[in-house]
Amino acid sequence: MIATLCKEYRPMVVFGLLAAIFCAIGLVLGIFVIVDFAQHANYVTKVPTAILSVSFVFIGILNLATGMILGSVVKSHRLQYELEVNRIYDQYRK
């Protein structure tokens, strides 16, 4: 329930955190692939790990983009709400 509220009111924080976690996992796995590449005369023997690493970083970037888009949508809805409240307040004040 708390996660849902955070996602709906602060999507950039939630999706940014997920993006950081996925990118960190991808970078850690990528370090193992790079070390393996350096040790085996410029040949990657851990191809599944390399694919997994790239996939995690890609998912992290997608999460970041999703957070940015949802953050702008939430900001737009808040602005519309404030404008509507001000319009109603001015209407009943007269």
Residue that has been written with the tokens 């519309």 in this structure: 80
Chain-centroid distance of CA 77 in Å reads: 20
Q: Average of pLDDT values for 34-53?
A: 89
Tokens representing residue 65 in the block: 């983009």
Q: Average of pLDDT values for 70-86?
A: 91
Q: Among residues of the chain, what percentage have pLDDT more than 90?
A: 63
Q: List Cβ neighbours of 71 (8 Å cut-off, separation of 6 or more).
A: 11, 12
Indicate if the pLDDT at residue 7 is higher than 80.
no
- Per-residue confidence band for 18, with pLDDT thresholds at 50, 70 and 90: very high
